[in-house]
Structure 1
Amino acid sequence: MGILDGKRILIAGVTLDSSIGFATAKVAQEQGATVLISNFGRALNITKRIAKRLPTEPPVLELDVTDESHLERLPDLVREHVDGLDGLMHSIAYGNPETILGGKFLTGPWEDVAQAVHVSAYSFKSLTTACLPLMGEGASVVGMTFDASVAWPGYDWMGFAKGALESCNRYLARDLGPHGIRVNLVSAGALKTLAAKAIPGFERFEDEWTKRAPLGWDLNDLEPTAKTVVAVLSDFMPKTTGEIIHVDGGYHAMGA
Protein backbone atom coordinates (compact mmCIF):
# COMPACT_ATOMS: atom_id res chain seq x y z
CA MET A 1 0.00 0.00 0.00
CA GLY A 2 1.11 3.54 -0.74
CA ILE A 3 0.30 6.76 1.10
CA LEU A 4 -1.69 8.02 -1.91
CA ASP A 5 -3.70 4.87 -2.56
CA GLY A 6 -6.97 5.83 -4.22
CA LYS A 7 -6.05 9.52 -4.48
CA ARG A 8 -6.70 11.54 -7.63
CA ILE A 9 -4.00 14.14 -8.22
CA LEU A 10 -3.61 16.91 -10.81
CA ILE A 11 -0.07 18.19 -11.33
CA ALA A 12 -0.10 21.42 -13.31
CA GLY A 13 3.12 22.40 -15.01
CA VAL A 14 5.05 19.33 -16.22
CA THR A 15 7.37 19.87 -19.16
CA LEU A 16 10.56 17.80 -18.96
CA ASP A 17 11.51 14.74 -16.96
CA SER A 18 14.02 16.99 -15.17
CA SER A 19 11.18 18.96 -13.56
CA ILE A 20 9.91 18.75 -10.00
CA GLY A 21 6.42 18.19 -11.37
CA PHE A 22 7.54 15.10 -13.29
CA ALA A 23 9.43 13.73 -10.29
CA THR A 24 6.35 14.26 -8.13
CA ALA A 25 4.10 12.52 -10.67
CA LYS A 26 6.42 9.51 -10.60
CA VAL A 27 6.51 9.24 -6.80
CA ALA A 28 2.75 9.87 -6.58
CA GLN A 29 2.06 7.00 -8.98
CA GLU A 30 4.44 4.75 -7.06
CA GLN A 31 2.45 5.62 -3.93
CA GLY A 32 -0.85 4.59 -5.50
CA ALA A 33 -2.27 7.82 -6.95
CA THR A 34 -4.11 8.30 -10.21
CA VAL A 35 -2.26 11.25 -11.75
CA LEU A 36 -3.21 13.81 -14.38
CA ILE A 37 -0.69 16.33 -15.69
CA SER A 38 -1.00 19.52 -17.73
CA ASN A 39 0.78 21.99 -19.97
CA PHE A 40 -0.10 24.22 -22.93
CA GLY A 41 1.14 25.80 -26.12
CA ARG A 42 4.27 24.48 -27.79
CA ALA A 43 5.28 22.67 -24.61
CA LEU A 44 2.14 20.51 -24.68
CA ASN A 45 3.52 18.08 -27.25
CA ILE A 46 6.75 17.77 -25.24
CA THR A 47 4.69 16.94 -22.15
CA LYS A 48 2.75 14.28 -24.05
CA ARG A 49 6.01 12.60 -25.04
CA ILE A 50 7.51 12.90 -21.56
CA ALA A 51 4.35 11.43 -20.00
CA LYS A 52 5.21 8.09 -21.59
CA ARG A 53 8.28 7.89 -19.32
CA LEU A 54 6.19 7.70 -16.16
CA PRO A 55 5.36 4.30 -14.63
CA THR A 56 1.80 4.69 -15.96
CA GLU A 57 1.15 7.11 -18.82
CA PRO A 58 -1.19 9.76 -17.39
CA PRO A 59 -3.76 11.90 -19.20
CA VAL A 60 -2.26 15.20 -20.35
CA LEU A 61 -4.60 18.17 -20.17
CA GLU A 62 -4.21 21.43 -22.07
CA LEU A 63 -4.16 24.16 -19.43
CA ASP A 64 -2.88 27.73 -19.55
CA VAL A 65 -3.45 29.02 -16.00
CA THR A 66 -3.56 32.62 -17.25
CA ASP A 67 -6.42 31.89 -19.68
CA GLU A 68 -9.87 32.19 -18.10
CA SER A 69 -11.46 29.98 -20.73
CA HIS A 70 -8.98 27.20 -19.91
CA LEU A 71 -9.73 27.53 -16.20
CA GLU A 72 -13.49 27.47 -16.80
CA ARG A 73 -13.34 24.26 -18.80
CA LEU A 74 -10.84 22.55 -16.47
CA PRO A 75 -13.40 20.73 -14.26
CA ASP A 76 -15.01 19.16 -17.33
CA LEU A 77 -11.61 18.08 -18.70
CA VAL A 78 -10.69 16.49 -15.38
CA ARG A 79 -14.06 14.67 -15.16
CA GLU A 80 -13.32 12.97 -18.47
CA HIS A 81 -10.75 10.92 -16.54
CA VAL A 82 -11.66 11.01 -12.82
CA ASP A 83 -14.74 12.04 -10.86
CA GLY A 84 -12.94 14.49 -8.58
CA LEU A 85 -9.60 15.55 -7.11
CA ASP A 86 -8.00 14.79 -3.78
CA GLY A 87 -4.85 16.75 -4.50
CA LEU A 88 -3.55 19.57 -6.66
CA MET A 89 0.04 20.59 -7.32
CA HIS A 90 0.93 23.98 -8.80
CA SER A 91 4.40 23.69 -10.33
CA ILE A 92 4.33 26.79 -12.51
CA ALA A 93 6.47 29.93 -12.68
CA TYR A 94 7.78 32.26 -15.36
CA GLY A 95 9.78 35.45 -15.54
CA ASN A 96 11.41 36.90 -18.64
CA PRO A 97 15.15 36.38 -18.04
CA GLU A 98 16.00 39.15 -20.48
CA THR A 99 14.16 41.87 -18.59
CA ILE A 100 13.48 41.01 -14.94
CA LEU A 101 16.26 38.59 -13.90
CA GLY A 102 20.04 38.76 -13.70
CA GLY A 103 20.47 42.07 -11.88
CA LYS A 104 17.60 43.92 -13.58
CA PHE A 105 15.51 44.69 -10.51
CA LEU A 106 15.85 48.46 -10.92
CA THR A 107 15.00 48.40 -14.61
CA GLY A 108 12.41 45.62 -14.95
CA PRO A 109 9.35 46.94 -16.87
CA TRP A 110 5.94 46.61 -15.25
CA GLU A 111 4.49 44.58 -18.12
CA ASP A 112 7.02 41.80 -17.55
CA VAL A 113 6.80 42.06 -13.77
CA ALA A 114 3.01 41.78 -14.02
CA GLN A 115 3.36 38.69 -16.20
CA ALA A 116 5.69 37.07 -13.66
CA VAL A 117 3.29 37.80 -10.79
CA HIS A 118 0.31 36.54 -12.80
CA VAL A 119 1.96 33.28 -13.87
CA SER A 120 3.92 32.58 -10.70
CA ALA A 121 1.61 33.82 -7.92
CA TYR A 122 -1.91 34.83 -8.94
CA SER A 123 -2.33 31.59 -10.89
CA PHE A 124 -1.96 29.65 -7.64
CA LYS A 125 -5.27 31.17 -6.59
CA SER A 126 -6.79 30.88 -10.07
CA LEU A 127 -5.93 27.21 -10.45
CA THR A 128 -7.10 26.36 -6.94
CA THR A 129 -10.46 28.07 -7.29
CA ALA A 130 -10.97 26.51 -10.73
CA CYS A 131 -10.53 23.09 -9.09
CA LEU A 132 -12.79 23.78 -6.10
CA PRO A 133 -15.81 22.06 -7.69
CA LEU A 134 -13.67 18.92 -7.89
CA MET A 135 -12.28 18.96 -4.35
CA GLY A 136 -13.92 18.13 -1.07
CA GLU A 137 -12.98 17.99 2.58
CA GLY A 138 -9.54 16.52 3.09
CA ALA A 139 -8.13 17.71 -0.22
CA SER A 140 -4.60 19.12 -0.33
CA VAL A 141 -3.17 21.89 -2.52
CA VAL A 142 0.61 22.26 -2.86
CA GLY A 143 2.67 24.93 -4.63
CA MET A 144 6.40 25.32 -5.21
CA THR A 145 8.43 28.27 -3.96
CA PHE A 146 12.07 29.31 -3.64
CA ASP A 147 12.59 30.94 -0.25
CA ALA A 148 11.38 34.53 -0.66
CA SER A 149 12.42 35.65 2.83
CA VAL A 150 15.78 36.84 1.48
CA ALA A 151 17.10 38.55 -1.67
CA TRP A 152 18.94 36.13 -3.97
CA PRO A 153 21.61 37.07 -6.54
CA GLY A 154 20.06 37.45 -9.97
CA TYR A 155 16.56 36.39 -8.87
CA ASP A 156 15.20 39.94 -8.72
CA TRP A 157 11.51 40.22 -9.73
CA MET A 158 11.01 36.46 -9.59
CA GLY A 159 11.90 36.72 -5.92
CA PHE A 160 9.20 39.37 -5.64
CA ALA A 161 6.74 37.06 -7.40
CA LYS A 162 7.62 34.21 -5.03
CA GLY A 163 6.98 36.57 -2.12
CA ALA A 164 3.52 37.19 -3.54
CA LEU A 165 3.04 33.43 -3.92
CA GLU A 166 3.94 32.86 -0.28
CA SER A 167 1.43 35.48 0.82
CA CYS A 168 -1.20 33.98 -1.49
CA ASN A 169 -0.60 30.63 0.20
CA ARG A 170 -1.53 32.05 3.60
CA TYR A 171 -4.73 33.69 2.38
CA LEU A 172 -5.83 30.57 0.49
CA ALA A 173 -5.21 28.53 3.63
CA ARG A 174 -7.38 30.97 5.58
CA ASP A 175 -10.27 30.93 3.15
CA LEU A 176 -10.23 27.22 2.26
CA GLY A 177 -9.64 25.88 5.75
CA PRO A 178 -13.38 26.03 6.59
CA HIS A 179 -13.94 23.75 3.56
CA GLY A 180 -11.47 21.23 4.97
CA ILE A 181 -8.91 21.96 2.23
CA ARG A 182 -5.24 22.36 3.15
CA VAL A 183 -2.95 24.73 1.23
CA ASN A 184 0.84 24.63 1.61
CA LEU A 185 4.06 25.42 -0.22
CA VAL A 186 7.23 23.39 -0.53
CA SER A 187 10.41 25.44 -0.74
CA ALA A 188 13.00 23.43 -2.63
CA GLY A 189 16.71 24.08 -2.56
CA ALA A 190 18.74 24.86 -5.64
CA LEU A 191 18.07 22.20 -8.30
CA LYS A 192 19.20 21.95 -11.91
CA THR A 193 15.73 22.18 -13.41
CA LEU A 194 14.63 23.92 -16.60
CA ALA A 195 13.43 26.87 -14.49
CA ALA A 196 16.79 27.17 -12.72
CA LYS A 197 18.67 27.22 -16.01
CA ALA A 198 16.73 30.34 -16.96
CA ILE A 199 18.14 32.26 -13.97
CA PRO A 200 21.25 34.21 -15.00
CA GLY A 201 24.10 33.37 -12.64
CA PHE A 202 22.42 30.29 -11.18
CA GLU A 203 25.82 28.61 -10.94
CA ARG A 204 26.59 30.95 -8.01
CA PHE A 205 24.19 28.88 -5.90
CA GLU A 206 25.76 25.54 -6.65
CA ASP A 207 28.96 25.46 -4.57
CA GLU A 208 27.42 27.39 -1.69
CA TRP A 209 24.46 25.04 -1.38
CA THR A 210 26.50 21.87 -1.42
CA LYS A 211 28.97 23.33 1.12
CA ARG A 212 26.47 24.82 3.58
CA ALA A 213 23.53 22.40 3.68
CA PRO A 214 24.11 20.35 6.85
CA LEU A 215 22.34 17.29 5.42
CA GLY A 216 24.21 17.66 2.16
CA TRP A 217 22.61 18.54 -1.15
CA ASP A 218 22.59 17.06 -4.65
CA LEU A 219 21.52 19.61 -7.23
CA ASN A 220 20.45 16.82 -9.60
CA ASP A 221 18.35 14.82 -7.15
CA LEU A 222 14.65 15.76 -7.40
CA GLU A 223 13.38 12.85 -5.33
CA PRO A 224 13.62 14.43 -1.84
CA THR A 225 11.49 17.35 -3.02
CA ALA A 226 9.02 15.07 -4.82
CA LYS A 227 8.65 12.84 -1.77
CA THR A 228 7.91 15.85 0.41
CA VAL A 229 5.23 17.11 -1.99
CA VAL A 230 3.66 13.64 -1.98
CA ALA A 231 3.72 13.60 1.82
CA VAL A 232 1.88 16.94 1.90
CA LEU A 233 -0.65 15.64 -0.63
CA SER A 234 -1.30 12.59 1.56
CA ASP A 235 -3.49 12.29 4.65
CA PHE A 236 -0.46 12.21 6.96
CA MET A 237 -0.42 16.00 7.55
CA PRO A 238 -4.12 16.61 8.29
CA LYS A 239 -3.72 19.81 10.32
CA THR A 240 -0.90 21.50 8.44
CA THR A 241 -1.94 24.47 6.30
CA GLY A 242 -0.57 27.87 5.34
CA GLU A 243 2.90 26.43 5.81
CA ILE A 244 6.16 26.65 3.83
CA ILE A 245 8.06 23.37 4.16
CA HIS A 246 11.74 23.58 3.30
CA VAL A 247 13.44 20.77 1.41
CA ASP A 248 16.94 22.17 1.05
CA GLY A 249 19.22 20.03 3.21
CA GLY A 250 18.83 22.59 6.00
CA TYR A 251 20.48 25.41 4.05
CA HIS A 252 17.79 27.93 5.00
CA ALA A 253 18.53 27.54 8.72
CA MET A 254 22.28 28.21 8.48
CA GLY A 255 24.04 31.54 8.99
CA ALA A 256 27.12 32.72 7.14
Structure 2
Amino acid sequence: MGLLEGKTLLVTGVLKDNSIAFHVARLAQEQGATVVLTSFGRQLRLTEVTARRLPSPAPVVQLDVTNEEDLAALGDRVREHADRLDAVVHSIAFAPQSVMGGNFLHGAWPDVATALEVSAYSLKSLAVAARPLLGRGSAVVGMTFDGSVAWPVYDWMGVAKAAFEATARYLARDLGPDGIRVNLVSAGPIRTTAATSIPGFEQMESVWDERAPLGWDVADAEPAARSVVALCSDWFPATTAEIVHVDGGVHAMGQ
Protein backbone atom coordinates (compact mmCIF):
# COMPACT_ATOMS: atom_id res chain seq x y z
CA MET A 1 0.00 0.00 0.00
CA GLY A 2 1.44 3.35 -1.04
CA LEU A 3 2.07 6.28 1.28
CA LEU A 4 -0.67 8.30 -0.44
CA GLU A 5 -3.05 5.49 -1.33
CA GLY A 6 -6.55 6.84 -1.99
CA LYS A 7 -5.54 10.49 -1.66
CA THR A 8 -5.93 13.32 -4.17
CA LEU A 9 -3.26 15.98 -4.61
CA LEU A 10 -3.37 19.31 -6.40
CA VAL A 11 0.12 20.11 -7.65
CA THR A 12 1.04 23.53 -9.00
CA GLY A 13 4.19 24.54 -10.84
CA VAL A 14 4.71 21.62 -13.22
CA LEU A 15 6.29 23.02 -16.36
CA LYS A 16 8.98 20.60 -17.51
CA ASP A 17 10.04 17.21 -16.21
CA ASN A 18 13.11 18.64 -14.47
CA SER A 19 10.99 20.56 -11.97
CA ILE A 20 10.57 19.53 -8.34
CA ALA A 21 6.80 19.73 -8.86
CA PHE A 22 6.95 17.16 -11.66
CA HIS A 23 8.80 14.71 -9.42
CA VAL A 24 6.31 15.36 -6.62
CA ALA A 25 3.47 14.47 -9.00
CA ARG A 26 5.32 11.38 -10.23
CA LEU A 27 6.14 10.10 -6.75
CA ALA A 28 2.63 10.86 -5.52
CA GLN A 29 1.15 8.72 -8.29
CA GLU A 30 3.64 5.95 -7.56
CA GLN A 31 2.50 6.11 -3.93
CA GLY A 32 -1.15 5.67 -4.87
CA ALA A 33 -2.43 9.23 -5.23
CA THR A 34 -4.66 10.80 -7.82
CA VAL A 35 -2.97 13.98 -9.08
CA VAL A 36 -4.49 17.10 -10.59
CA LEU A 37 -2.14 19.74 -12.00
CA THR A 38 -2.61 23.47 -12.53
CA SER A 39 -1.22 25.83 -15.14
CA PHE A 40 -2.27 28.91 -17.08
CA GLY A 41 -1.73 31.04 -20.14
CA ARG A 42 1.04 30.12 -22.55
CA GLN A 43 2.41 27.60 -20.05
CA LEU A 44 -0.76 25.51 -20.07
CA ARG A 45 0.05 23.62 -23.24
CA LEU A 46 3.55 22.81 -22.02
CA THR A 47 2.16 21.51 -18.71
CA GLU A 48 -0.31 19.31 -20.59
CA VAL A 49 2.54 17.82 -22.64
CA THR A 50 4.65 17.24 -19.52
CA ALA A 51 1.67 15.70 -17.71
CA ARG A 52 1.68 12.88 -20.25
CA ARG A 53 5.16 11.88 -19.05
CA LEU A 54 3.83 10.98 -15.62
CA PRO A 55 3.13 7.31 -14.79
CA SER A 56 -0.55 8.16 -15.40
CA PRO A 57 -1.55 11.21 -17.46
CA ALA A 58 -2.87 13.88 -15.09
CA PRO A 59 -5.58 16.44 -15.83
CA VAL A 60 -4.55 20.09 -15.89
CA VAL A 61 -6.87 22.84 -14.65
CA GLN A 62 -6.54 26.54 -15.38
CA LEU A 63 -5.19 28.56 -12.43
CA ASP A 64 -3.42 31.89 -12.40
CA VAL A 65 -2.85 32.54 -8.69
CA THR A 66 -3.01 36.29 -9.27
CA ASN A 67 -6.41 36.10 -10.99
CA GLU A 68 -9.44 36.35 -8.70
CA GLU A 69 -11.74 34.66 -11.22
CA ASP A 70 -9.42 31.67 -11.52
CA LEU A 71 -9.13 31.39 -7.75
CA ALA A 72 -12.91 31.55 -7.33
CA ALA A 73 -13.39 28.87 -9.99
CA LEU A 74 -10.72 26.50 -8.66
CA GLY A 75 -13.12 24.38 -6.63
CA ASP A 76 -15.46 23.75 -9.56
CA ARG A 77 -12.57 23.00 -11.91
CA VAL A 78 -11.05 20.48 -9.52
CA ARG A 79 -14.46 18.85 -8.91
CA GLU A 80 -14.57 17.92 -12.59
CA HIS A 81 -11.83 15.41 -11.73
CA ALA A 82 -12.09 14.78 -7.97
CA ASP A 83 -14.62 15.41 -5.20
CA ARG A 84 -12.06 16.48 -2.62
CA LEU A 85 -8.39 17.29 -2.03
CA ASP A 86 -6.14 15.74 0.58
CA ALA A 87 -3.13 17.95 -0.14
CA VAL A 88 -2.16 21.02 -2.11
CA VAL A 89 1.42 21.57 -3.27
CA HIS A 90 2.52 25.16 -3.88
CA SER A 91 5.53 25.25 -6.20
CA ILE A 92 5.13 28.70 -7.73
CA ALA A 93 7.57 31.60 -7.75
CA PHE A 94 8.40 34.44 -10.07
CA ALA A 95 10.31 37.71 -9.95
CA PRO A 96 11.28 39.94 -12.86
CA GLN A 97 14.99 39.77 -13.59
CA SER A 98 15.18 43.48 -12.82
CA VAL A 99 14.94 42.70 -9.08
CA MET A 100 17.51 39.88 -9.00
CA GLY A 101 21.09 39.37 -10.08
CA GLY A 102 22.57 42.18 -7.98
CA ASN A 103 19.77 44.69 -8.50
CA PHE A 104 18.51 44.85 -4.92
CA LEU A 105 19.15 48.58 -4.47
CA HIS A 106 17.67 49.37 -7.86
CA GLY A 107 14.54 47.21 -7.66
CA ALA A 108 11.43 49.25 -8.52
CA TRP A 109 8.28 48.72 -6.47
CA PRO A 110 6.04 47.48 -9.31
CA ASP A 111 8.50 44.64 -10.03
CA VAL A 112 9.03 43.94 -6.32
CA ALA A 113 5.26 43.85 -5.86
CA THR A 114 4.99 41.26 -8.64
CA ALA A 115 7.59 39.08 -6.91
CA LEU A 116 5.79 39.33 -3.57
CA GLU A 117 2.34 38.64 -4.99
CA VAL A 118 3.31 35.64 -7.09
CA SER A 119 5.92 34.15 -4.77
CA ALA A 120 4.47 34.83 -1.30
CA TYR A 121 0.90 36.11 -1.20
CA SER A 122 -0.14 33.36 -3.61
CA LEU A 123 0.33 30.76 -0.86
CA LYS A 124 -2.54 32.35 1.03
CA SER A 125 -4.57 32.79 -2.16
CA LEU A 126 -4.15 29.15 -3.14
CA ALA A 127 -4.89 27.81 0.34
CA VAL A 128 -8.06 29.86 0.67
CA ALA A 129 -9.24 28.85 -2.81
CA ALA A 130 -8.66 25.16 -2.07
CA ARG A 131 -9.98 25.28 1.49
CA PRO A 132 -13.54 24.12 0.69
CA LEU A 133 -12.06 20.89 -0.76
CA LEU A 134 -9.69 20.22 2.14
CA GLY A 135 -10.87 18.19 5.12
CA ARG A 136 -9.36 17.41 8.50
CA GLY A 137 -5.99 15.76 8.19
CA SER A 138 -5.20 17.43 4.88
CA ALA A 139 -2.03 19.33 4.07
CA VAL A 140 -0.69 22.37 2.27
CA VAL A 141 2.99 22.03 1.37
CA GLY A 142 5.10 24.73 -0.24
CA MET A 143 8.59 24.95 -1.73
CA THR A 144 11.02 27.57 -0.44
CA PHE A 145 14.69 28.51 -0.63
CA ASP A 146 15.97 29.49 2.81
CA GLY A 147 14.64 32.99 3.42
CA SER A 148 16.45 33.49 6.73
CA VAL A 149 19.70 34.76 5.18
CA ALA A 150 20.80 37.03 2.32
CA TRP A 151 22.02 35.07 -0.71
CA PRO A 152 24.15 36.31 -3.60
CA VAL A 153 22.07 37.42 -6.62
CA TYR A 154 18.72 36.34 -5.06
CA ASP A 155 17.85 39.87 -3.93
CA TRP A 156 14.10 40.60 -3.89
CA MET A 157 13.23 36.97 -4.52
CA GLY A 158 14.96 36.27 -1.22
CA VAL A 159 12.72 38.86 0.42
CA ALA A 160 9.73 37.20 -1.21
CA LYS A 161 10.82 33.81 0.18
CA ALA A 162 11.09 35.29 3.67
CA ALA A 163 7.54 36.61 3.26
CA PHE A 164 6.46 33.20 1.92
CA GLU A 165 7.80 31.48 5.02
CA ALA A 166 6.04 33.96 7.30
CA THR A 167 2.82 33.46 5.33
CA ALA A 168 3.06 29.71 5.92
CA ARG A 169 3.31 30.24 9.67
CA TYR A 170 0.22 32.44 9.75
CA LEU A 171 -1.68 29.99 7.54
CA ALA A 172 -0.72 27.19 9.90
CA ARG A 173 -2.16 29.23 12.75
CA ASP A 174 -5.43 30.02 11.01
CA LEU A 175 -6.03 26.69 9.24
CA GLY A 176 -4.96 24.51 12.16
CA PRO A 177 -8.41 24.58 13.80
CA ASP A 178 -9.76 23.03 10.56
CA GLY A 179 -7.23 20.22 10.88
CA ILE A 180 -5.19 21.48 7.92
CA ARG A 181 -1.40 21.32 8.22
CA VAL A 182 0.85 23.87 6.49
CA ASN A 183 4.52 23.05 6.03
CA LEU A 184 7.39 23.99 3.73
CA VAL A 185 10.34 22.18 2.18
CA SER A 186 13.47 24.29 1.84
CA ALA A 187 15.47 22.67 -0.93
CA GLY A 188 19.03 23.36 -1.98
CA PRO A 189 19.61 24.65 -5.52
CA ILE A 190 18.11 22.40 -8.20
CA ARG A 191 18.86 23.08 -11.86
CA THR A 192 15.27 23.58 -12.91
CA THR A 193 14.02 25.83 -15.69
CA ALA A 194 12.94 28.42 -13.12
CA ALA A 195 16.21 28.36 -11.20
CA THR A 196 18.44 28.72 -14.23
CA SER A 197 16.52 31.85 -15.22
CA ILE A 198 17.89 33.60 -12.12
CA PRO A 199 20.81 35.84 -13.16
CA GLY A 200 23.96 34.47 -11.51
CA PHE A 201 22.29 31.27 -10.25
CA GLU A 202 25.52 29.37 -10.88
CA GLN A 203 27.15 31.38 -8.06
CA MET A 204 24.93 29.61 -5.55
CA GLU A 205 24.94 26.13 -7.04
CA SER A 206 28.69 25.98 -7.66
CA VAL A 207 29.67 25.88 -3.97
CA TRP A 208 26.74 23.93 -2.55
CA ASP A 209 28.26 20.47 -2.92
CA GLU A 210 31.43 21.62 -1.13
CA ARG A 211 29.50 23.04 1.82
CA ALA A 212 26.95 20.24 2.22
CA PRO A 213 28.00 17.54 4.73
CA LEU A 214 25.96 15.03 2.72
CA GLY A 215 27.03 16.45 -0.62
CA TRP A 216 24.57 17.86 -3.15
CA ASP A 217 23.51 17.05 -6.69
CA VAL A 218 21.97 20.08 -8.40
CA ALA A 219 20.45 17.81 -11.06
CA ASP A 220 18.54 15.58 -8.61
CA ALA A 221 15.11 16.87 -7.59
CA GLU A 222 13.97 13.60 -6.03
CA PRO A 223 15.15 14.18 -2.42
CA ALA A 224 13.12 17.38 -2.19
CA ALA A 225 10.15 15.75 -3.92
CA ARG A 226 10.19 12.83 -1.49
CA SER A 227 10.00 15.22 1.45
CA VAL A 228 7.02 17.00 -0.08
CA VAL A 229 5.24 13.67 -0.60
CA ALA A 230 5.96 12.63 2.98
CA LEU A 231 4.51 15.89 4.34
CA CYS A 232 1.39 15.33 2.21
CA SER A 233 0.91 11.91 3.79
CA ASP A 234 -0.55 10.90 7.16
CA TRP A 235 2.92 10.34 8.62
CA PHE A 236 3.18 13.91 10.00
CA PRO A 237 -0.21 14.29 11.71
CA ALA A 238 0.95 16.76 14.38
CA THR A 239 3.49 18.76 12.36
CA THR A 240 2.59 22.20 11.09
CA ALA A 241 4.32 25.58 10.58
CA GLU A 242 7.54 23.64 9.97
CA ILE A 243 10.31 24.13 7.40
CA VAL A 244 12.02 20.87 6.46
CA HIS A 245 15.47 21.52 5.01
CA VAL A 246 16.47 19.25 2.15
CA ASP A 247 19.77 20.87 1.28
CA GLY A 248 22.45 18.37 2.24
CA GLY A 249 22.88 20.17 5.58
CA VAL A 250 24.11 23.53 4.29
CA HIS A 251 21.57 25.51 6.35
CA ALA A 252 23.29 24.39 9.57
CA MET A 253 26.88 25.06 8.53
CA GLY A 254 28.89 28.23 9.22
CA GLN A 255 30.71 30.08 6.47
TM-score w.r.t. length of structure 2: 0.99
Q: Deviations over 1:80-107 (max 9, x none)?
A: 000000000000000001x100111111
Q: Which residue of 1 aligns with 2:229?
A: 230
1:191 offset after TM fit, Å? 0.7
Equivalent positions of 1:83-94 (< 5 A) are 83-94=83-94
For 2:21 and 2:166, the matched residues in 1 are separated by 22
Q: Deviations over 1:218-237 (max 9, x none)?
A: 00001000000000000000
Q: Deviations over 1:34-80 (max 9, x none)?
A: 00011101010000001100000000111100000000000000000
For 2:207 and 2:228, the matched residues in 1 are separated by 24
3-state SS of 2:131 partner:
helix
Q: Which residue of 2 aligns with 1:47?
A: 47
Using the aligned pairs only, state the percent identity. 60
The residue type equivalent to 1:60 in the other structure is V
For 1:235 and 1:91, the matched residues in 2 are separated by 21
For 1:244 and 1:39, the matched residues in 2 are separated by 25
1:207 offset after TM fit, Å? 2.7
Q: Which residue of 2 aligns with 1:77?
A: 77
3-state SS of 2:99 partner:
coil
The residue type equivalent to 1:226 in the other structure is A
1:13 offset after TM fit, Å? 1.5
Q: Which residue of 1 aligns with 2:100?
A: 101
Which ranges of structure 1 fall in alignment gaps of 5 or more residues? none
* Runs of 4+ that moved beyond 4 A: none
Q: Which residue of 2 aligns with 1:32?
A: 32
1:12 offset after TM fit, Å? 1.2
The residue type equivalent to 2:142 in the other structure is G
Equivalent positions of 1:138-153 (< 5 A) are 138-153=137-152
Match status 1:67 vs 2:89: no
1:204 offset after TM fit, Å? 1.1
For 1:219 and 1:248, the matched residues in 2 are separated by 10
1:10 offset after TM fit, Å? 0.1
The residue type equivalent to 1:195 in the other structure is A
Which ranges of structure 2 fall in alignment gaps of 5 or more residues? none
TM-score w.r.t. length of structure 1: 0.99
**Once superposed, what is the RMSD of the aligned Cα atoms?**
0.6
For 2:81 and 2:14, the matched residues in 1 are separated by 18
For 1:206 and 1:119, the matched residues in 2 are separated by 24
Q: Deviations over 1:172-216 (max 9, x none)?
A: 000000100000110000110111111111111223101111111
Equivalent positions of 1:177-192 (< 5 A) are 177-192=176-191
For 1:127 and 1:169, the matched residues in 2 are separated by 12
For 1:165 and 1:206, the matched residues in 2 are separated by 22
3-state SS of 1:14 partner:
coil
Q: Which residue of 2 aligns with 1:160?
A: 159
For 2:59 and 2:205, the matched residues in 1 are separated by 35
The residue type equivalent to 1:15 in the other structure is L
Q: Which residue of 2 aligns with 1:130?
A: 129
Q: Which residue of 2 aligns with 1:206?
A: 205
For 2:112 and 2:176, the matched residues in 1 are separated by 30
Q: Which residue of 2 aligns with 1:194?
A: 193
3-state SS of 2:105 partner:
coil
Number of residue pairs matched?
255
For 1:248 and 1:31, the matched residues in 2 are separated by 23
For 1:194 and 1:240, the matched residues in 2 are separated by 31
Q: Which residue of 2 aligns with 1:13?
A: 13
Q: Which residue of 1 aligns with 2:2?
A: 2
